[in-house]
Chain A
């Protein structure tokens, strides 16, 4: 559906963007790039600066230093030329209008010329598989369909860069898969897509690259597979779940064996192989009063890699 015809190779370039707000560096000299035809996931904990970065890209947050370029243009000019699309986290649609009416209004406000508005709306409906629901009032749609309309409304003007904030929050697995397919088709058509999300699994499923933010800065940006490989090497992850509470003797034993609490009640250890003495370890834990409820060995994944990166970064900050 998107029709990319401008010459800049990068959909988005952020260079050394810094902004201090209320005595805090919400952006601390960060850089980021989103290429044409790529999907980049922006991951990080709350307060890491994801929203501030999106706002800066959208021209809603002035920078103290650094610069933002969208398809080679400053944000204000990119807005004027309708090179930027935004899909907010909430369903940013008029509830009392039909799907088609919403797309017509929001398309027009996004800069679609009146002459081509009807055709673009038709294309958008067909692209998102919503042609048969064109006359349905938005409130009568399922959550997944509303998300699709929300997405189409952000792309009718065929922007060079699309910003999405938690685009699949609150939808079921099937609806999420459809949205991911739509995002991939945007990428394949040459659009640059930047997704801010808390969900590493989603980023892993749909993104080509991931940028991890912490303390107002992108600490790493790399393709998903590369980022996981760099974080874990060839290691796998062994995680043990226990009946709570865990006796302190068992916790000491786990620490000695290089396990770390993962935050969700599990204890995790990474390594190239499983401990040879896993059976005896489990026996020792049982002797220490701990009962293992689940033992899981998993391949390295993005969620773990991001957690590791953030942990290392927090450690560097503490040091």
Chain B
């Protein structure tokens, strides 16, 4: 009997081309858009749009500007400006995400201990505040890479004045060495070699434990899959009210199947639909971005089934608690959008405030994304990918039981 309900829903979906597109094409399109936009915004391909204003026009400033222009994480969107007000206008207008001003009246670039304001000013926009933080780091990096002589000259001055007073001969020797360093740095930069650049203190490396886990593209495949598996389930779940209005539920309730068959059949259909959606989205993700297929397909499959079960149970429960199709669809859509927002389907959760990250665990999206993250790692079992699957399955079963209990309550008044 449940099979008959599944068949009905499959035929309904197959014959409704609009619903097919909404269920299987739209998620892929949204994933591709999300992956393209958001992997650039939060991943390795980030390139901030900046402007640089050089109010000093001295050799050190020019070298720093050249270093910033060569930084691959930055993109100068205008020729070097001559005043901070021009830079300010560019940031305010949105032409640039942030601006660097080598300001007049600031300390020299090779003075680490003198009075006066910092030699470099970063201008940010309130809506893009994070760009300022990123740009500040890029300036520091460029400074130490391109102006090591200036940095060391500041250090020498610091030692001379605050730690050990140098002799005149030592000062002369140091100046000469640093002048030579400046020449060498300029030469090596022209040749594209590190030369005398100060070595970075920092090396960034992907954690060994997370190798093979979600990169940005796969993250958004999981995020979009969780969002659309839930959204697509709303239609079939809330169509239960259409069956009530038409009298089909009355007809079925008079027979041995009862309304439970309609709930169970829908749950099975929604699980199948959700699983197929996830397969399509991940297949497109892996094919389009040439990602390696996961080693442990069983773990990925487990999370997929659990996600589909959770979406089926939740949407059926909401549908049964509501009194009409319209009410069920509105309530489900609002809940899904909230769950998707706080669960990381729209913006990665690590970018959210701590309290929202904690709250996000009430969202099935968060568990699904976490589940895929663990499942796609090198050792899904040790990574604990079973826990998110258990949580999602428990949510699905709870929703399904609530839906069954509510709907069987319709049978007898």
A contact residues vs B (CB 8 Å cutoff) = 21, 55, 58-62, 79-82, 84-94, 96-97, 101, 104-106, 108-111, 153-154, 157, 163
Contacts and interface: CB of A to CB of B under 8 A. Distances in A.
B18 interface: no
Contact of B254 (A58, A62, A108): A58
Given A62-B412, A105-B5, A109-B261, A86 B254 contact: yes
Given A60-B411, A92-B246, A109-B261, 17 more contacts: A58-B253, A79-B254, A84-B254, A88-B246, A88-B250, A92-B248, A94-B248, A96-B11, A109-B5, A109-B252, A109-B255, A109-B257, A110-B252, A110-B254, A111-B255, A111-B257, A153-B251
Contacts of A61: 412-413
A152 to B, nearest CB: 12
25 contacts: A55-B413, A58-B254, A59-B411, A59-B412, A62-B413, A79-B255, A84-B255, A86-B254, A87-B251, A88-B247, A90-B245, A91-B247, A93-B248, A94-B12, A96-B16, A104-B4, A106-B248, A108-B1, A109-B1, A110-B251, A110-B254, A110-B257, A111-B255, A111-B257, A154-B251
Contacts of B16: 96
A22 to B, nearest CB: 11
A283 B248 CA distance: 59
Contacts of B1: 108-109
B106 interface: no
The interface residues of chain B, by DSSP majority, are classed as helix
A23 to B, nearest CB: 15
Contacts of B251: 86-88, 92, 106, 109-110, 153-154
B192 interface: no
A85 B254 contact: yes
B7 interface: yes
B116 interface: no
B8 interface: yes
B19 to A, nearest CB: 10
A16 to B, nearest CB: 19
B256 A92 contact: no
B402 to A, nearest CB: 21
A210 B1 CA distance: 36
Given A93-B248, A97-B11, A81 B412 contact: no
A105 B3 CA distance: 9
A93 B242 CA distance: 11
Given A61-B412, A105-B5, A109-B1, A90 B247 contact: yes
Q: Which 5 A/B pairs are nearest by Cβ-Cβ distance?
A: A88-B247, A92-B247, A86-B254, A108-B4, A110-B255
B258 interface: yes
B15 interface: yes
Contacts of B253: 58, 60, 79, 86
Interface string B384-413: 000000000000000000000000000111
Contacts of B413: 21, 55, 60-62
Contacts of A110: 251-252, 254-257
Contacts of B411: 59-60
A108 B253 CA distance: 13
Interface in B249-301: 250-258, 261
Contacts of A58: 250, 253-254
Interface in B1-60: 1, 3-5, 7-8, 11-12, 15-16
A105 B255 contact: no
Contacts of A81: 256
A38 B376 CA distance: 67
B256 A111 contact: yes
A3 to B, nearest CB: 17
A285 B413 CA distance: 55
B239 to A, nearest CB: 10
Contacts of B256: 79-82, 110-111
A16 B147 CA distance: 101
A247 to B, nearest CB: 49
A41 B33 CA distance: 63
A163 B253 CA distance: 13
Contacts of A106: 248, 251-252
B26 to A, nearest CB: 20
A185 to B, nearest CB: 21
